[in-house]
Amino acid sequence: MKGSNIGLHDQVVALRSGASQMQHLIRVMMGVVSSHPDARVEPRGECRLSMKHVIGAALGMVLVSVSVSYGQTPPAVSSLSPSMILENFSAPFVTSDFAERLALLVVEEKYPKDTLVASGVKEVMDRDGAWWVTVNVEFPSASPLRRVMGPLLPKQLTIQIRKTNAEIVSIS
């Protein structure tokens, strides 16, 4: 329990530190402060930053807003490309409807039609960072699984789909 409090404290400190660095960069960009090492003061008194610092500040704002909007720790930056970070800016990349269609596509593409057929979606549940899509399945009479497993065949499959990048986490 104490370890989890330390982790939360570290996250808050890191968030505050990132926010103060962003505030400093914004002040520098607005010309209020010109003490940034890569900033140069123009003859008219304007302050300019290199493009890498402007992009870094923008990405920092995106990451903070993603964390706040999801109410949880965002995925590790290394796991998402810059374009996917932007796709997740205001809402998760994968919507409920997208997850439903993707789950049906996975069943149709993964399993041969003579073995297993999707017959619709029962429900789509929002579980933190993933959608859990329950797909109703049927086994054709000629299915080899029907001969082997008989009444033990499942009536549904649950496909977990990550909201940030449409990764298929599991099929069960």
Q: What is the dihedral of CA 46, 52, 55, 59, to 10 degrees?
A: -130
Residue 41 to residue 96: CA distance in whole angstroms: 49
Nearest alpha carbon to residue 94 among 122, 62, 70: 70
C-alpha 66/C-alpha 163 separation (Å) is 12
Q: Which domains does the chain have, with CATH numbers?
A: 2-87 (no CATH), 96-171 (3.10.450)
Contact between 20 and 35 (Cβ < 8 Å): no
Q: Give per-residue pLDDT as tens, 84-112.
A: 989 888 999 999 999 999 999 999 999 99
Please list, residue by residue across 15-28, b when 16 or more beta carbons sit within 10 angstroms of its beta carbon and e when fewer do: eeeeeeebeebeeb
Per-residue pLDDT of 42-85, as tens digits, reads 555 554 556 555 555 555 554 444 434 444 444 554 578 888 98
d(CA 113, CA 139): 9
pLDDT tens profile 129-148: 999 999 999 999 889 888 88
- Note whether 78 and 65 are within 8 A (CB): no
